[in-house]
Amino acid sequence: MTDLASETDALGKRYGRMWALRDCSMQLPAGRIAALVGPNGAGKSTLLHLAVGLLQPDEGRVRAFGEEPRGNSRALADIGFVAQDTPLYRDFTATELITMGGKLNRRWDADVARRRLDGAGIPLGKAVGTLSGGQRAQVALAIALAKQPQLLLLDEPIAALDPLARHEFMQALMDAVAETGATVLLSSHLLTDLERTCDHLVVLRDARVRLAGPVDDLLGDHRILVGPRTEGPIRGVVQVIRASHTDRQSTLLVRTAGPLTDPAWTVREPTLEDVVLAHLAAGAPSTRTAPEVTA
């Protein structure tokens, strides 16, 4: 089996004359927990729907473990998906959903779902439409995990949850990944939650990949510089991603090519949020990509 859980090559999808995704090329190595971030309308949901085979590409290709997912029952058996707003049959109980899942999936472990819901204190006999948003999200995650996927795709599963429910959902997700070794691609706006859990990053803006790679490598490549006002080249800097200036001082978020030794600059390590927001604000494709990724 390929070492890549998901990959796209010049992938594109349009609705009428509008491209929701265009020229999207990326690679997600197996075993990663990846954050998919970007503003509304960037193409995140479209990318996930293409990756799970729910949409047909207009350009390029998408593969899961080396196979195109659309219409491919063998490939789809390895993919779990929790769509935005965790859609469930609201009149069904969790027990009924688990039973239905067993009839629709060749590889199914109902005990996995029951144990996770029991551990979360979620009643199996109540209609899921009567549960709280956090409880419904836990039911959707348990159903997805009962499929025993090797690749789990989650589209904004925690956006509408309160902080405690978000914490409980993310904890359940991390526990499941630790047990199964599944690869996860998680779409979310909540960068603080993602920074604590994700080791890989994909940033979308304006229907294209702007930045992608292992989080540690990306953080290692970026620095915040504070020093005398300048708009000229700086030794060791590959790219200035974002700059702000006063009359005397410049604050820059930059991509580097080694140590920065100029004593005129104070150098700080950025957070993941610093890096993501800078690339989103820049709005232009990155000129250098991290290892393992073509963006």
In 3D, which of 73, 49, 74 has the Cα closest to residue 62?
49
Architecture of domain 4-206: 3-Layer(aba) Sandwich (3.40)
Can you read off the two tokens belonging to residue 229?
A: 């006002």
CB 116 within 8 A of CB 124: no
State the pLDDT at residue 285.
43
Q: Return the pLDDT at 292.
A: 34
- The CA-based angle 61-9-257, given to 5 degrees, is 165
Residues with Cβ within 8 Å of 16's Cβ and at least 6 positions away in sequence, in order, are none
Q: What is the largest CA-CA distance in the chain?
A: 68
Strands, sheet with 18-29, edge to edge from the N-terminal-most edge strand: 18-29, 4-15, 59-64
Distance between CA 229 and CA 246 in Å, rounded? 7
* Alpha carbon 40 to its chain's center: 14
Using CA atoms, how far apart are residues 113 and 99, in angstroms rounded to an integer?
A: 10
Amino acid at 45: S
Q: What is the pLDDT of residue 294?
A: 32
Strands 4-15 and 18-29 turn out to be: antiparallel
Any idea where the domains of the chain sit in the sequence?
4-206, 216-282
Return averaged pLDDT per consecutive 10 residues of the chain, 295 residues in all: 88 94 94 93 94 96 95 93 87 96 92 92 94 91 94 89 86 90 91 86 92 94 94 89 93 92 92 93 49 32
pLDDT in tens, 227-270: 999 888 888 999 999 999 999 999 999 999 888 888 999 999 99
Write the DSSP symbol of residue 59.
E
- Phi, psi for residue 253 in degrees, rounded to 5: -105, 120
- The 10 Å CB-count burial string (b at 16+, else e) for 44-73 is bbbbbbbbbbebebeebebbbbeeebeeee
* Contact status, residue 32 vs residue 199, Cβ threshold 8 Å: yes
For 265, which DSSP code?
S
Q: How far, in whole angstroms, is CA 128 from its chain's centroid?
A: 26
What is the C-alpha end-to-end distance of the chain, expressed in Å? 23
Structural tokens at position 100: 């239905």
Is 135:94 a contact under the CB 8 Å cutoff? no
